[in-house]
Amino acid sequence: MSIPHVLVIPCSAQGHVIPFMAVSKCLIEHGVRVTFVNTDFIHRRVIDALADKDFLGDRIHLVSIPDGLGPGDDRNNFGILLEANFQVMPAKLEDLIRDIEEKEGPKITCLVADGNMGWALQVARKMNIPRAVFWPASAALWHWELAFQRIPIQHQMFQLALGMPTMNTAHLAWACVGDLAAQKTVFSLVVRNNKFLEVADWLICNSSPNFESAVLNFAPRILPVGPLLSSHWLESSAGYFWPEDSNCLKWLDQQPHKSVIYVAFGSFTVFYQIQFRELALGLELCNKPFLRVVRPDTTEEKDDAYPKGFKERISGRGKLVGWAPQQKVLAHASIACFVSHCGWNSTMEGASNGIPFLCWPYFTDQFLNETYISDMWRVGLRFKRDESGIIRRSEFKCKVDQLLDDVSFKIRSSDIKEKLAKVVDEGGESHKNFSDFIQWMKAL
């Protein structure tokens, strides 16, 4: 019998490529071969950020196709990016598949596409390839995006069923993209995309029944297989868009047990100057060790964005890095808490390591994840903003103290860590769902 060969195709965002790498690593653990399809633009970033140690072996093959945009186009505009993808990528994907099959013989066994790349399922169907969708965010968000048939005009809180978290319509994906006309365009792209997903054989989601049982009961077609974390399988950090600064792990080795505040806001968050400085001063005020990620594009400030003398004053107890190996950081014994923007991956990673959170959401589903963390799982606290929307240094210190002084956060976080470890282990529901998926694939 030949080895199953799976084509995986994530959406062009860091928070999608990393969990797709986790799925890929999991697939190769089960003896499957993976061809990982990025856009040319993302592929270059991933290759440029690879470290020597990021050896993927011959089971994960990184390839790329054009995304439909020109070299200088704005790839942060999701509406434009998704439409360009839709116009150009299906034909390119088809060519790629034909090319692989011509050169390598056996047919592609299965295609696993991102929930935002519905068109790829249509290509697979046309080519008679079995297909699955992997959704790298919460089941709640996915369920809602699949459920809306008309764009909600008013901003209001809603709850689809009892036991599900509440969410504001202002935080749905399309509501964060400019004026109403732009929002309607993105909404219609989402609806079109969701229609394409109807031909999927499997809908799997990087979530866990421990977290989202109400939603998963309500939407039984969505099967949780998570939390899938790359670091569970391979040492390699391949998939990052920025080179990681692994020196911070050595720095963490020198810090006392559960003493360090880890601060990171994912791959998109950008700060106004005033908020950036206030956070720096808040960290200074806490007088505790901290590790803070500041991506090169975190502020719009060209010169030094930090308060005057900040770096000198915090040297010795504060470490600033451009990009951290976050999963390894969160697994480090010195970490006390995670100041996070509550992206779904960060949420899964913090929870899997039993780390309490301070929630600092920025947009879209990050507010929903904040609700999960602080109101439903009660493993974190939210910050209060002042009348101009700023989180002040005194509020920052107050919440850090409150979180670290209250042992109940530690207890609940450890409890969740234990449950999440069980659910992906032999006998757990996520483990069973993933095994069933692999069995299906191997029987094709």
With CB under 6 A as the contact rule, the residue among 41, 233, 251, 268 that binds ligand UDP is: 268
372 binds ligand UDP (CB under 6 A): no
Query: Which of the residues 280 through 309 are near ligand UDP (CB under 6 A)?
Result: 293
344 binds ligand UDP (CB under 6 A): yes
Q: For 159-168, which contacts have Cβ atoms below 8 Å and span 24 or more sequence positions? A: 160/218, 161/214, 161/218, 162/214, 163/213, 163/214, 164/140, 164/214, 164/215, 164/218, 165/140, 165/368, 165/371, 165/372, 165/375, 165/376, 166/371, 167/140, 167/367, 167/368, 167/371, 168/367
Q: Please, which residue, 76 or 87, has the CB nearer to ligand UDP?
A: 76
Query: Which of the residues 74 through 133 are near ligand UDP (CB under 6 A)?
Result: none
361 binds ligand UDP (CB under 6 A): no
138 binds ligand UDP (CB under 6 A): no
With CB under 6 A as the contact rule, the residue among 145, 212, 349, 370 that binds ligand UDP is: 349
68 binds ligand UDP (CB under 6 A): no
Q: Which of 165-173, 320-328, 384-392, 393-401 is the region at the interface with ligand UDP (rule: CB under 6 A)? A: 320-328
Q: Quickly list DSSP for 95-152.
A: HHHHHHHHHH-SPP-EEEEETT-HHHHHHHHHTT--EEEEE-S-HHHHHHHHH-SS--
What is the nearest approach in angstroms of ligand UDP to the Cβ of residue 106?
Answer: 33
Q: Which of 250-258, 312-320, 339-347, 413-421 is the region at the interface with ligand UDP (rule: CB under 6 A)? A: 339-347
- Kindly list the distances between the CA atom of residue 265 and the CA atoms of 62, 325, 343, 358, 440, in Å, as whole numbers in the listed order: 27, 13, 8, 11, 37
Q: Which of 69-77, 246-254, 342-350, 394-402 is the region at the interface with ligand UDP (rule: CB under 6 A)? A: 342-350
- CB 226 within 8 Å of CB 430: yes
**Torsion region of 375: left, alpha or beta (phi above 0 gives left; psi -120 to 50 gives alpha):** alpha
18 binds ligand UDP (CB under 6 A): yes
With CB under 6 A as the contact rule, the residue among 38, 267, 352, 413 that binds ligand UDP is: 267
At 286, which amino acid appears? C
Positions in the binding site for ligand UDP (CB under 6 A):
13-15, 18, 264, 266-268, 293, 323-324, 326-327, 343-346, 349
